[in-house]
A = this chain, B = another copy of it.
Amino acid sequence: MATWSNLDTLASYQELTKAARVNLAEVMSGEKGADRVKNYSIPMAEGLVYNYASKQVDDQLLSALAKLAEEAQLSEKFEALYNGEVVNTGEKRLVLHHMTRGQLGQAVEADGVDKRSFYVEQQQRIADFANKVHSGEITNAAGEKFTTVVQIGIGGSDLGPRAMYLALENWAKKNGLFKMEAKFISNVDPDDAAAVLASTDVAHAVFVLVSKSGTTLETLTNESFVKDALKNAGLDPAKHMIAVTSETSPLAKSDDYLAAFYMDDYIGGRFSTTSAVGGAVLSLAFGPDVFAQFLEGAAAEDQLAAKKDVMENPAMLDALIGVYERNVLGYPATAVLPYSQALSRFPAHLQQLDMESNGKSVNRFGEPVNYPTGPVIFGEPGTNGQHSFYQLLHQGTDIVPLQFIGFKNNQMGTDVVIQDSTSQQKLCANVAAQIVAFACGKSDDDRNKNFEGGRPSSIIIGEEVNPKTLGALLAHFENKVMFQGFLWNVNSFDQEGVQLGKVLAKRVLAHETDGALKVYSDLLNI
């Protein structure tokens, strides 16, 4: 049995706080810098590599981190999780998102069924449905093929699937695997649904309603919006909608849907991209085989996360370095910077994944912790970010650790040579240059043009963004966040912090307010 202890009670953490600081600008200079880049690297799945040469670590610090990993029992805790222990203690639930893409340990039974079989069954049902939509066996009432899929969901039912769709859209088009355009409706702002519907041929659209509980206010509201639009077009909503929900929700087994696919309580929204939540829309958009490859990549990365040796476990090392930066070095935020337009919304997904999981002030036993937990996460694709907020990253008063992601090849294969290099080469040259600029800086007598350096980053490098590498990338970050939650001793799998706002919003709508809330409501004309 693993022992769940606060970070600051661990002897190895106390040791870590006393370890000598690494002068990044110095260790990254000259030939020893070159050696670091060659050596400080761990293979990931699907040909990806996690390179941490530009992090503020050295061999001594790495061994301190390895001790911390051991004392914090990171491997044992992950093992407990994938073997079906109730790791989500607050909600008293298993945590089974890994099982949507493989089985790392023993069989896990819950709700009277083998969970791996349950997830595979849902994938097969989705695959069958998607294939029938693509072949024209399932059509609209007029017998015409569906051409568009519209996901209605918010938070984890939106950000992950949307980011993955955008990541693979052009790859699928290029490789002849693009089946249907996908769109997304999330915000309760009526302009969101109205704008999507205005640009959608609803007669040929299938809508995927995603809500585990079947009670998410935004999602049910947007469903009504969509149903109105379908009815106004003389269409039967029940012939245009499918549901992704839990088997016990009001949406399950309802005649209002062409089909329902199931998720369960053991997968939190932000970890649900590899479940039916991502499965339905991505299988419809790109075909079930592409979704299966995506799961394969994630499963392969999970295998690495299960390795006990931290130097073979990129997610674990990434997590440890992040905690060192947050708790020992005191850096309050982390930027995620993919040098790939395909990953334009990947940072927005990671923002939820990380901040909702580890933005907690109490440990898993409900006791306040005395140390910082999850940082602020933000990011935009490079090179765009270079022309936006990198000024602060290079010369601001706070140090922001950086997570770069880069690929050797672009997706669409179209390129142009300007000044003797392709755009892809320019893109890659920029990310290489940024890492070194951040780490080493450059002194200048004009202090305004001086770069201190010492700004840490890591980079994940891959061949191209495709279903497998994308799955591996997603799993890497899911596992990193999980390991950090273990280190901080928080429950990464609940989100009680979102409840109060919901309660108060209901009160406003019921006009049961007083004090400040009433005046704000008046100002907003509610």
Contact = CB atoms under 8 A, between A and B. Distances in A.
B189 A393 contact: no
A221 B51 CA distance: 29
A10 interface: no
B192 A361 contact: no
A305 B31 CA distance: 54
Given A366-B447, A448-B362, A497-B391, A339 B423 contact: no
Contacts of A366: 446-448
8 contacts: A53-B516, A189-B410, A217-B426, A333-B333, A348-B388, A432-B520, A435-B516, A435-B520
A452 B362 CA distance: 12
Nearest to A459: B520
Nearest to A353: B388
A221 B426 CA distance: 10
A496 B437 CA distance: 13
Contact of A362 (B30, B431, B432, B447): B447
Contacts of A371: 397
Interface string A370-394: 0111111110111110111111111
A415 to B, nearest CB: 5
Contact of A34 (B173, B406, B518): B518
A351 B513 CA distance: 35
A31 B169 CA distance: 53
B508 A432 contact: yes
Given A519-B34, A526-B425, A397 B29 contact: no
A108 interface: no
B355 A429 contact: no
A259 interface: no
A240 B526 CA distance: 48
Given A31-B515, A412-B195, A425-B509, A524 B356 contact: no
Interface string A28-65: 11110110111000000000010101100000000000
B191 A411 contact: yes
Contact of A361 (B190, B340, B397, B414): B397
Given A341-B189, A520-B436, A372 B394 contact: no
A498 B384 contact: no
Interface in A405-449: 406, 408, 410-412, 414-416, 418-437, 439-442, 446-449
A380 B377 CA distance: 12
Contacts of A375: 398
A418 B355 contact: no
Nearest to A218: B383
Contact of A189 (B54, B383, B439, B496): B383
Interface residues of A, number: 159
Contacts of A224: 416, 418
Contacts of A392: 355-356, 358-359, 374, 376, 497
Contact of A332 (B154, B333, B340): B333
A41 to B, nearest CB: 8
Contacts of A195: 169-170, 341, 412
A105 interface: no
Interface stretch (A120-128, A133-141, A155-163): A155-163
B37 A394 contact: no
A170 B189 contact: no
A208 interface: no
A269 to B, nearest CB: 7
A372 B397 contact: yes
Nearest to A349: B388
A501 interface: yes
A159 B332 CA distance: 25
A449 B498 contact: no
Contacts of A449: 496, 499
B390 A441 contact: no
A102 interface: no
A451 interface: yes
Interface string A510-526: 00001111111101111
A418 B388 contact: no
A490 to B, nearest CB: 10
A339 B187 CA distance: 9
A132 interface: no
Given A221-B416, A395-B496, A519-B38, A189 B339 contact: yes
A51, A332, A368 interface centre (most CB from chain B within 10 Å): A332
A509 B426 contact: yes
Nearest to A525: B408
Contacts of A339: 189
